[in-house]
């Protein structure tokens, strides 16, 4: 299959996904669409080279930025109050489930079977976290009764602390003794999801500083062979957690010299934000 055929197939898949989203938007069944996406992303992966599979899955049409932006906009505008809490609970529960499946397998050892399973579980965790970053950050909490909205907000805060912070800390610690790739995939996905939750205006979550987690991040930054997307996530997230500066200050935050050694020139992040190194 040549490049033009691949491009045509991609365009057809993108068009199909848009039609599916349009249907569920018009019929107000976005909860059903999200449930189907979670189910599809939860299936084990085929193939012998899971690292290549990871690149293909994460860059495929269902996880393209444009498609996810449309999904997020539809969720925020049209998810009903009755669908909001069950959808959030589904996402949180499924990501927790895959973290709980991944970590024991990853810790047990590095024989061929466990190594493949840990890679497979890491990829599925990452895909679900990517979907979760869009769904959870787009929830229309303003449509819920104040007590329901606060209860859901607290569930997400607990999920951030008990699952995402733990996945970052535990993965960074365990990767010192084992194949690092699966742990780095999980860590990058967790950091990306933490960031999405922290900056989502509809959620309005409290501050997210965790000294233990971010001290481990600082140490991990010194490794030259760290997964590129993990290095970017590890660099970016601590800036978000700095105390907010006074409104009168409008200049950009400047990374420390140690961070700048990892980045050359200007880095453009996936959401369009830019951090400039002197």
State the Cα–Cα distance between residues 127 and 189, nearest whole angstrom.
Answer: 8
Tokens at 75, concatenated: 């969720």
pLDDT digits (tens, 9 = 90+) for 218-250: 666 666 567 777 777 766 665 555 434 444 444
**What local confidence, expressed as pLDDT, does residue 168 receive?**
87
Which range is least confidently modeled, 32-36, 68-72, 93-97, 204-208? Answer: 204-208
Asked if pLDDT for residue 132 goes beyond 80, the answer is: yes
Helix, strand or coil for residue 42? coil
Mean pLDDT of all residues in the chain? 81
The residue with greater pLDDT, 67 or 251, is 67
Q: Is the dihedral of CA 65, 68, 73, 74 positive or negative?
A: positive
DSSP 8-class letter at 21 = H
The per-residue b/e assignment along 26-49, b for 16 or more CB within 10 angstroms, e otherwise, is: eeebbbebbbebbeebeeebeeee
**What local confidence, expressed as pLDDT, does residue 88 receive?**
97
Diameter over CA atoms, the chain: 57
**What local confidence, expressed as pLDDT, does residue 278 receive?**
36
DSSP 8-class letter at 26 = H
Asked if pLDDT for residue 264 goes beyond 50, the answer is: no
Asked if pLDDT for residue 276 goes beyond 90, the answer is: no
Asked if pLDDT for residue 161 goes beyond 80, the answer is: yes
Residue ranges of the domains in the chain? 11-240
Mean pLDDT value across residues 144-155? 95
């Amino acid at each position: 299959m040549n490049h033009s055929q691949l491009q045509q197939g991609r365009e057809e898949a993108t068009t199909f996904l848009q039609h599916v989203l349009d249907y569920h938007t018009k019929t107000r069944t976005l909860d059903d669409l999200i449930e189907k996406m979670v189910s599809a992303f939860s299936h084990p992966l085929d193939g012998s080279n899971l690292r290549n599979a990871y690149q293909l899955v994460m860059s495929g049409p269902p996880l393209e930025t444009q498609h996810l932006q449309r999904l997020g906009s539809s969720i925020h505008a049209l998810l009903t109050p009755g669908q909001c809490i069950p959808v959030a609970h589904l996402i949180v529960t499924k990501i927790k489930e895959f973290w709980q499946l991944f970590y024991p397998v990853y810790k047990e050892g590095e024989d061929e079977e466990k190594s493949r399973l840990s890679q497979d579980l890491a990829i599925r965790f990452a895909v679900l976290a990517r979907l979760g970053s869009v769904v959870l950050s787009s929830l229309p909490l303003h449509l819920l009764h104040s007590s329901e909205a606060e209860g859901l907000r607290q569930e997400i805060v607990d999920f951030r602390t008990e699952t995402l912070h733990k996945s970052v800390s535990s993965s960074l610690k365990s990767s010192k003794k084992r194949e690092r790739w699966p742990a780095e995939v999980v860590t990058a996905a967790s950091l990306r999801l933490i960031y999405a939750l922290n900056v989502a205006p509809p959620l309005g979550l409290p501050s997210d500083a965790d000294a233990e987690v971010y001290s481990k991040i600082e140490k991990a930054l010194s490794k030259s062979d760290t997964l590129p997307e993990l290095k970017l996530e590890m660099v970016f997230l601590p800036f978000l957690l700095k105390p907010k500066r006074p409104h009168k200050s409008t200049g950009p935050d400047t990374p420390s010299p140690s961070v700048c050694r990892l980045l050359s020139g200007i880095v453009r992040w996936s959401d369009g934000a830019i951090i400039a190194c002197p």
